[in-house]
Amino acid sequence: MDRLHCRQILCRTALVTNPSSQSVLFATSEVSLTNQPKRAKPPVSSGVIGILIFMVTEAMFFAALISAYLVIRSGIEEWPPWGQPRLPIETTAFNTLVLLLSGLTMGFSRNLLQKQKFQEGRRLLGISILLGTFFMVAQGYEWVQLVNFGMTVSSSVYGGLFYLIIGAHGFHVVGVLAVLIHAWNRLGASNNSINVEGLIPLQLLWYFVVCVWPVLYVLVYLT
């Protein structure tokens, strides 16, 4: 009986003191939360770091394609092979200037958006996307003409390497353009909008696509 009575007394004491102890704990937790220091903003966002890593892997991919092209080309006496159509150097040179202008416009758009000039920056971003689209359409028309002249993937090693290297770049252009169009639509949207920092990784990826093309143009078209 004495043990049972002692347990009842202890339970009643715990029940009485429990609310006060909870209030003390809650008060302590509130003080600790308010006194926590704010986390410093990282100098480089995780999105930028991720896209830089992706760009390094893609640079290695194109380097492998270029190395294979140079090795195969060095083993063939006549390049381009006889019977294959010649590439449109002048037309592609103009198309190259269009793509470079698209990259330059993208840079201007980024500067305007960082200066909170939203409408002007968004307009230049749209122009950059249009120039990139023109480049891709012109490339597609060029490929159709080459196929009509008999240059296909299976017509020769020359044709196979051309479509592999230039097609890989075109695939990247289409992919980045699709993402940029989606981001352009989200700029200033009321729901699920994208900010300037969220646009930076996509702009970096477009710079990469633009900078790779002159190297491919000189390698495949001019040499």
Domain ranges of the chain: 46-222
The rounded distance, in Å, linking the Cα atoms of 199 and 96 is 24
Residue 117 has pLDDT above 70, yes or no: yes
The more confident residue out of 212 and 81 is 212
The length of the chain is 223
Q: Give the pLDDT band (50/70/90) at residue 87.
A: very high
**pLDDT-wise least confident of 13-27, 153-167, 202-216:** 13-27
Query: What is the average per-residue pLDDT within 155-160?
Result: 91
For the segment(s) 46-222, the CATH number from 1.25.40.10, 3.40.50.150, 1.20.120.80, 3.30.1330.60 is 1.20.120.80
Residue 8 has pLDDT above 80, yes or no: no
Burial pattern 135-156, b for ≥16 Cβ within 10 A else e, equals: bbebbeebbeebeeeebeeebb
Q: What is the mean pLDDT of the chain?
A: 83
Sign of the dihedral through C-alpha 112, 117, 119, 120: negative
